Amino acid sequence: MAATYIYAVIPGGVAGIFDVAGVDDGDGDVYAVPYHDLAAVVSSSPLPDYRGLRREDAVRYLVAHQRVIEAVMQAFPVLPVKFGTVLPNETRVRHLLAQGEALFRTTLEQFAGQMQMEVVVLWDLSEIFQEIGREEAIIQLKAQVAARPVEETPAERVAIGQIVKASLDRRRAALCQRLLPPLQEVALDLVVNPLMDESMVANVALLVDEAGGRLLDEQLAMLDERFEGRLHFRCVGPLPPNSFATVEVQGFSFESVNEARYRLGLGETSSLGEIKKNYHRLAAQLHPDHNPQDPEAEARMAELTWAYRHLIAYGETQAVLVPDEQGCGEAQGLFQGTPAREPVCSFTCEAVEQALLIAIRRQEILA
C-alpha cells in the first residue's frame, strides 16, 4: 500500500478533492483528510522517503509540492508542511492532526490574513566586474601579472580573485543596508534567504497583510527609482507563509528509543519523572568531575545526556484521542493512564512507531 504524502494543514474539517496534480504526477487525487475543524491535504506518495534524491528529482517533487499548496491556498488559509513529509496511512495522518490540533489551530489563527511575498534583487554582474576592475589594487596586481609569465604568478592570480570577491561582498552588504530597511517597513516579518549565485544582491521573504502587500509595490517602485535602474527587482507572490511557519514532523525509531532507555536503566514503561530521576542519579555517578582518572568519562556522559534528551523528546509527545471509522474514540499515542496523573511512557515497538514530534519552524529556501 502506498504511503501518504502531506502537503499542508487547513481549517474547515471537511473532506474534499482538489483539482491539482500532486507528487504522484496525477495518478491519484489530492484530497483532504478531516479531523475536527482541521484537515490535512494529502495524496498517495510514490516514495517512502524523499531524502537523498538526485537534485533534478528533488526539484521535480518540490515543484509538485509547492504547486499543490499554492492551489489549495486559493480556497483556504494554508499551514504548509515541510517538503518530503510522509506517513504510512490516513490513520497516522489523523493521529498527526489530533496530536498537533492546538498548535495547528493557533498557528492558522496567527497567520490569518497574511501572506508571503518573495523579493529578489539582481545587479548587472558584468557591469560590477568592470567597476571592480578599475579599483587601484586590481590595476596594480593585473600589471604585475601581465609583465610576467603565467607560471610565475599563481599567487597574484589567487590574490586578484580574493580581492574581487571581497569587493563584491562589500558592495552587496552596502546595498543591503539601503534595501532592507524600506522592505522591513511594510513587512510584519522578514527572512533573509541564501543567495543562489553572485548575480543576486538580496533574496528575502516578507510576511505581509493585504495593506502591506500594496505598500510593498510602492516601496519597490521607489527603490527602482532611487537606484536609477541599476538594480532589478523581482517580486513573487502571494505565497503561503513557508518561510515563517512550516510544520515539521519527526518520528522515532524503536532502535534509538530502546537504546536510550537501556542507557538510563528503564523498564518497558516509565514516567517522565522516572526518566529525569534515573538521569540525575546516573549523571552523578558518571560525570567527568567525579571520575577525573577515567579517559572515557566524557564520552559516557555525552551518551547518557543524548539518551536523556531523546527520551524526554519522545515522552513529551502527548496522548491523543483519534476517532475510528465509526466515530468512536480510540486512544493512540505512547501515554497510558488518566490525564490527571503523570502519564506513563510506553517503550514498546508499537508505541514508538506511533509517536510524532511536531513543531512549527521558520524555513529558509535551499541554495
One pLDDT digit (tens) per residue for the chain, 367 residues? 578 999 999 998 888 899 999 998 877 899 999 999 999 999 999 888 888 888 899 999 999 999 999 999 988 999 999 999 999 889 889 989 988 888 999 999 999 989 999 999 999 988 888 888 888 887 877 777 777 787 777 777 788 888 888 989 999 999 999 999 999 999 999 999 888 888 999 999 999 998 998 899 999 999 999 998 889 999 998 999 989 999 998 888 888 889 998 999 998 888 888 899 999 999 988 888 888 888 888 888 999 999 998 888 888 774 433 344 433 344 344 443 434 456 678 888 888 877 888 888 887 554 4
State whether residue 249 is helix, strand or coil: strand
- pLDDT at residue 364, as a whole number: 56
CA distance 42 to 69: 10
CA distance 192 to 173: 13
Domain ranges of the chain: 3-111, 116-239, 250-355
What does the angle CA 241 – CA 101 – CA 345 come to, to the nearest 5 degrees? 125
State whether residue 252 is helix, strand or coil: coil
State whether residue 355 is helix, strand or coil: coil
What does the angle CA 86 – CA 348 – CA 275 come to, to the nearest 5 degrees? 105
Q: Give the residue carrying C-alpha cell 517503550.
A: 347
Q: How far is CA 13 from CA 4, 77, 204, 321, in A?
A: 18, 13, 33, 16
**Cβ atoms within 10 Å of 292's Cβ, excluding its own:** 7
- pLDDT at residue 332, as a whole number: 41
| DSSP 8-state secondary structure symbol assigned to residue 194 | P
CA distance 251 to 349: 12
* Report field, pTM of the whole predicted structure over 0.75: no
> What type of residue sits at position 43?
S
State whether residue 315 is helix, strand or coil: helix
Based on C-alpha coordinates, what's the Rg of the chain?
27
pLDDT per residue over 256-282, tens digit each? 889 998 999 998 888 888 899 999 999
pLDDT per residue over 222-237, tens digit each? 999 999 888 999 999 8
CA distance 313 to 359: 12
| DSSP 8-state secondary structure symbol assigned to residue 366 | -
- Look at the domain 250-355 and name its fold: Helix Hairpins (1.10.287)
DSSP H helices in the chain: 55-73, 90-99, 101-110, 125-133, 136-146, 154-186, 210-226, 254-263, 272-286, 297-315, 349-354
CA distance 41 to 67: 12
